[in-house]
Structure 1
Amino acid sequence: MARIAIGSDHAGYELKQHLIGFMEAAGHSVDDQGTHSTESVDYPEICAGVGRTVRDGDADFGIVLGGSGQGEQLAANKVRGVRAALCNCLYTARMAREHNDANVLSMGARVVGTGVAEEVVQIFLTQAFEGGRHQRRVDQITELEANF
């Protein structure tokens, strides 16, 4: 089973709580990095913390949640070594893993319901990276990141 770091802002809090239960019931280890209520909070440091946990090898995957998931994805992607993907449907979750070897999932709690969110998480955590021509592209992204 996977080790997962998860974080959200206030808009993603309720979905985060739901997904923690869903993932723990499936046997995954979950590190809840906040927020811990629906009180308004700024998300950048929470999402960067999730990204650092993945980058440092203390989690296999990260999940960041907000209202749309957009800002959360952007914040997580500021951490070198993170490939955060906004996936509000099953297809983008599968492609994020198969083609981009994404290691952080971002979702919008105001975009997806709990059922779809569960399916997206399941795909993201189980879909393998295809490698091959996609590895070359991931390597190019990593090189771009190293040069800026």
Structure 2
Amino acid sequence: MKIAMASDHAGYELKQEIKEILEGQGYEIVDFGAHSTEAADLPDSIYPASIAIARGEAERGIFIDGVGYGSAMIANKIYGLNAVVCQDPFCARLAREHTNSNVLCLGGKIIGSAIAHEIVDVWMKTDFMGDVEKYVRRVKKVDEISEKHLRKLSEIES
């Protein structure tokens, strides 16, 4: 599975740790930056990573900034992305099982390495409960909102 990873300067170090672990597990990582702890604007890395996921160039994304919310705000503006902020493994499991999220956002200033690694592990290994009608129905309703208010990349790029 190919994963788009992105961060700002506040999430750089945690992104590097998680990237190394995921590569060790056989995942292919595409790193959209930041590439150091020097001040970096979040949209400069999160937006291109989000576009890559929307185009199908990566199946999922893991974005890390100071608290996670900035990354989620940017990602959720892109059609086809369902970004969640998780601060514990329980939320990570439910975010996959119940919402079929495809982007995980973490706060490098909020959680430490050990809990972040566990969150990522749970989120990556948990499947959507696509056989439970209520979750399918709820995800479909969210998708219908996107259909109404967001534009597909194919509409923008043509």
What is the TM-score when the length of structure 1 is the normalising length?
0.96
Task: Calculate percent identity across the aligned residue pairs.
Answer: 37
SS in 1 for 2:111: coil
2: CA distance, partners of 1:58 / 1:135: 25
Structure 1 position 79 matched with structure 2 position 88: no
Q: Which runs of 5+ in 1 are unaligned?
A: none
One-letter amino acid matched to 1:30: I
Gaps of 5+ in 2: 150-158
Does the 8 Å CA contact 1:50/1:63 hold for their aligned counterparts?
no
Output the CA distance in 2 between the equivalents of 1:50 and 1:69. Answer: 15
Answer yes or no: is the 8 Å Cα contact 1:35–1:46 preserved in 2: yes
Matched, 1:10 2:9: yes
Amino acid at match of 1:109: G
RMSD: 0.9
User: Deviation above 4 Å: which 4+ runs of structure 1?
Assistant: none
State the match for 1:147 in structure 2: 148
Aligned length: 147
Preserved contact between residue 13 and residue 38 of structure 1 (Cα < 8 Å): yes
1:50-65 paired onto structure 2 within 5 Å:
50-65=49-64
Within 5 Å, give how 1:1-148 maps onto structure 2: 2-131=1-130, 132-148=133-149
Check the 8 A contact 1:86/1:105 in 2, yes or no. Answer: yes
Which of 1 and 2 has greater Rg?
Answer: 2
In the alignment, the residues of structure 1 paired with residue 65 and residue 90 of structure 2 have an alpha-carbon distance, to the nearest angstrom, of 20
Task: Indicate the larger mover: 88-97 or 53-62.
Answer: 53-62
Q: CA deviation at 1:112?
A: 1.1
What is the rounded CA distance, in whole Å, between the counterparts of 2:43 and 2:72 in structure 1?
9
Residue pair 1:64, 1:106 contacting (<8 A) in 2 also: yes
